[in-house]
Amino acid sequence: MRIHRIPSEKVKQEQPSVDLSPLAHLFEKYRNKSGSLIPLLQGTQHLYGFIPAPAFDLISKETGIETADIYGVATFYAQFRLNPVGKVIIKVCHGTACHVQNANAITDAVQDELEVKDGETTPDGLFTLESVACLGCCSLAPVLMIGDNSYGKLTGKSAVKVVRDIKETMKNEN
Amino acid sequence: METSIKPKIIVGLGSCGIAAGAAKTYDKLLALSQSGKYDFELAKTSCIGMCYKEPLVEVQDKAGSVIYGDMTDDKVIAVIEEHFATDKIVAGMAVHSSYSEASEDAYFNGQVKIALRNCGYIDPESIEEAENREAYKAIRHILKSEMKQMDVIQTILDSGLRGRGGGGFPTGMKWKFAFQNENKQKYIICNADEGDPGAFMDRSLLEGDPHAVLEGMIIGGYAISASTGIIYCRAEYPLAIKRLNIAIKQAFDKGYLGQNVMGKENFSFDIYVKEGAGAFVCGEETALIASIEGQRGMPRKRPPFPAVSGLWKKPTNINNVETWGNVPWIINHGAPAYAAYGTTKSKGTKVFALTGKIKHGGLVEVPMGITINDIIYKLGGGIQNDKKFKAVQLGGPSGGCIPAELGHTIVDYDSVNATGAIMGSGGMVVMDETTCMIDLAKFFLHFTQDESCGKCTFCRIGTKRMLEILERITEGKGEPADMEKLETLADQIKNNSLCGLGQTAPNPVLTTLKYFRHEYEAHIFHKKCPAKVCKPLLTYTIDAEKCTGCTVCGKKCPSSAIEGGRKTTHSIHQDKCIKCGECFTVCKFDAVLVE
């Protein structure tokens, strides 16, 4: 059931304080346009990477939609995140083609490597691990995607290598 | 094939091509063209459909056209240079050619491209290239000849086109209902919320030929007197959304969209893209409408059908991407030409995303009435590693498995439904002997259970209970009464759910129970997984005769369950073994046995 998308208390993270003033232009753009709640939430997430808790009240105030209804919409759709995400999002494809080519082994291996569960962010805020339904490059299955790069025909081992290489690059950049 | 003085090199830059590295290939070719060494024109196109050979590069010169496969950035320059130097097809690298035999001709020649007629032929970001291949010819003909609305609808009715999203409802009939409603404000919607895991037909069409879909919608808008069209597209398809928006702008600039389309009085039509936010259930039309209105995407009871009361309570006509893509072709070539393909009740062609354990995975468009075996063996080249074909899953999580014995089944709505599967939107996942059917049913049920909107009790709770039973079975804790319980629950969920998601969610379980009951029995009664997938049911042992005592497995074992020194036979302590399979993978002598 979709209610699973609401994070449990223990994985709730500290939310950084955010400046909500950039939302003003979104309100301007969608004012008096019916059916614009989802684009508003998408715009908010685009700005912050997630939907900060105080944004709900502000959107409610500006649009006149009840906060509970906005929360209802935000938790219904898989796209919306209520918590900050890592710098790097690792999307492991779990489409049918990837599943029959053992995508579970990829998620398992990356979970072990990062010591987080599917859907969680590492404590250092660097990586978020996500399962996605289908990335659409079925002939390369099993696949994972980081940023705009897809890595195909993986095994548990090669997936871990991909993650380690990225860790290494990030270290060198700092 | 068109001949031009200057050779042209075209790179396939669809999502799958890009994933395989086509962008880097393009960059290499761009550098080659800028170097001035050879004189050629460099162009882009989208998905050619041959995913298993991506990246694909086509060379057009005076001899005709040739497509080279596996053109990764490290290989492409050598092949192109050889092609130019010798003026001949580079041996062993061509997959298809207009003037010579090539390795993958069977894959191309078995197809009939109607919906995908321009995919791989045009640059999707160029309206002129689309126009050169008949784009907007149909709407021009309709408006110039002042074709009556009912005549347009009758043409679609006569063509026998049925909803390609999976429902299979006659498209012309849907249009007729919307046309007959006299409300002044009506809407056209294109359902591009392709959510089936393992299906990418709509994405490829939107990325490859967005104008076909736009033109289909304009024709639909004219036929039912709608003034606004909305494309509800998954946010996960950024490239499709980008290309759609470019195409809409181009069509608007050329007068195919906007106030008084092509100068026609009393017909104005606008299209905009609405991004979905990630909910499988939004593929259901009433849920999709709720989502466009900014609400939770939960289906409602029908009637009233959207043709009577849809978006903002106005008459609305919803069709799937592929359905819209077929419409202009039918107008251009006539209903009889379309109806010439197919069977008595299913006309035309269907696009399938052929994936799984198949040699040639990709996008294929085939005439209705072709057999599943022909798709798998003639087009798909057979099963990977020449393993045994076990079953094919049609229709994704709402569909079912068709076993190899029924491979002679022809692809049309009624024949597929008779097997217990559904035609669906076009996902075709091929499975071999190493796929456990219970694990697969569990996978699909996990998906539908997760995507259930929660409105109907049977769908919300029933799918969860079914999933729990399947989990138990795959963990070796299955009980004799489980199969009957699954059937009872499946029956209740099918009969007591409001929308297609719930009504079809039990299909994967029901079809596997029907065709692979022996696998359920093996799991439940003998605690064995015949496909060797369900880990808790496996036992790893070492074949004393084959073991050379190389110690590799012992070193790799994460739970120190393997005992044995150098050059002595190893053994596995079953109480310590966590069944990770690592020893099986690393053993070079096939000495690790799994049962």
Task: Give the rounded percent of residues in chain B with a pLDDT score beyond 70.
Answer: 99
**Structural tokens at position B561:** 């369950």
pLDDT band at A8 (very low <50, low <70, confident <90, very high): low
Q: Which residue of A has its CA nearest to B16?
A: A137
User: Six-digit token pair at A47?
Assistant: 């700005």
pLDDT above 50 (res B434): yes
Which residues of chain B from 448 to 467 reach within 8 Å of chain A, CB to CB? 449-454, 460, 464
Q: What is the pLDDT of residues B500-530, one digit of tens each?
A: 999 999 999 999 999 999 999 999 999 999 9
Contact A1 B449 (CB under 8 A): yes
Query: How much is the pLDDT for A13?
Result: 60
Q: Residue A7: what pLDDT?
A: 53
**A4 confidence band (pLDDT: 50, 70, 90):** very low
Q: How confident is the model at residue B238, as a pLDDT?
A: 85
Select the highest-mean-pLDDT range: A39-48, A119-128, B581-590: A39-48
Cross-sheet strand order for the sheet of A88-93: A127-132, A88-93, A144-146, A149-151
In this model, does residue A5 exceed pLDDT 60?
A: no
Question: Inter-chain contact B427–A1, Cβ cutoff 8 Å?
Answer: no
pLDDT average, residue stretch B464-481: 96
Of B279, B355, B451, the CB nearest to A97: B355
- Mean per-residue pLDDT, A136-151: 81
- Contacting residues for B182 by C-beta, under 8 A, at least 6 apart: none
pLDDT tens-digit readout, A59-72? 999 999 999 999 99
Give the whole-angstrom CA distance, residue B348 versus residue B153: 17
> Does residue B445 sit at the A interface (CB-CB below 8 Å)?
no
Give the residue-averaged pLDDT of B426-436.
92
Residues 258-297 of B with CB under 8 A from A: 274-280, 291-297
Question: pLDDT at position B2, please?
Answer: 46
- Determine whether the interchain pair A134/B196 forms a contact, defined as Cβ–Cβ distance below 8 Å: yes
Q: What band does B3 get if pLDDT is binned at 50, 70 and 90? A: very low
Higher pLDDT among residues A98 and B262, named by residue: B262
- Residue A1: pLDDT above 50? no
pLDDT tens profile B49-61:
888 888 999 999 9
Residues of A in contact with B203 (CB under 8 A): 136
Give the closest residue to B351 by CA, choosing from B33, B49, B30.
B49
Beta bridge partners, B12, equal B45
Q: What is the pLDDT of residues A81-99, one digit of tens each?
A: 888 888 899 999 888 888 8
Q: Do A132 and B452 touch (CB under 8 A)?
A: no
Q: What is the ipTM of this complex?
A: 0.86
Arithmetic mean of pLDDT, B184-195: 94
Residue B1: pLDDT over 60? no
- Flag if B294 and A100 touch (Cβ within 8 Å): no
According to the 3-state scheme, what is the secondary structure of B188-237? EEEEECCCCCCCCHHHHHHHHCHHHHHHHHHHHHHHHCCCEEEEEECCCC
Could you report the per-residue pLDDT of B123-180, keeping only the tens digit for each?
999 999 999 999 999 999 999 999 999 999 999 999 999 999 888 999 999 999 999 9
Chain A hits for B453, Cβ within 8 Å: 2, 76
User: What pLDDT is stored for residue A79 in this prediction?
Assistant: 87
Where is mean pLDDT largest: A118-122, A151-155, B72-76, B198-202? Answer: B72-76
N-terminal to C-terminal alpha carbon distance within chain B: 56
A residues 127-146 near B, CB within 8 Å? Answer: 132-141, 143
- Please give the DSSP secondary-structure letter assigned to residue B471: H
Indicate whether A35 pLDDT > 70: yes
**Contact assignment for B393 to A152 by CB distance below 8 Å:** no
Pairwise pLDDT comparison (B95 vs B1), residue with the higher score: B95
Taking only the tens place, the pLDDT of each residue in B74-83 is 999 999 999 9
- Check pLDDT > 90 for residue B47: no
pTM of the model: 0.91
Please check whether residue A159 is in contact with residue A153, taking contact to mean a CB–CB distance below 8 angstroms.
no
Beta bridge partners of B61: B64
A104 has a chain B CB within 8 A of its CB: no
Contact B454 A141 (CB under 8 A): no
Residues of A with Cβ-Cβ distance to B195 under 8 angstroms: 133
Chains A, B: CB contacts under 8 A, how many? Answer: 132
Structure tokens at B381: 């080249």
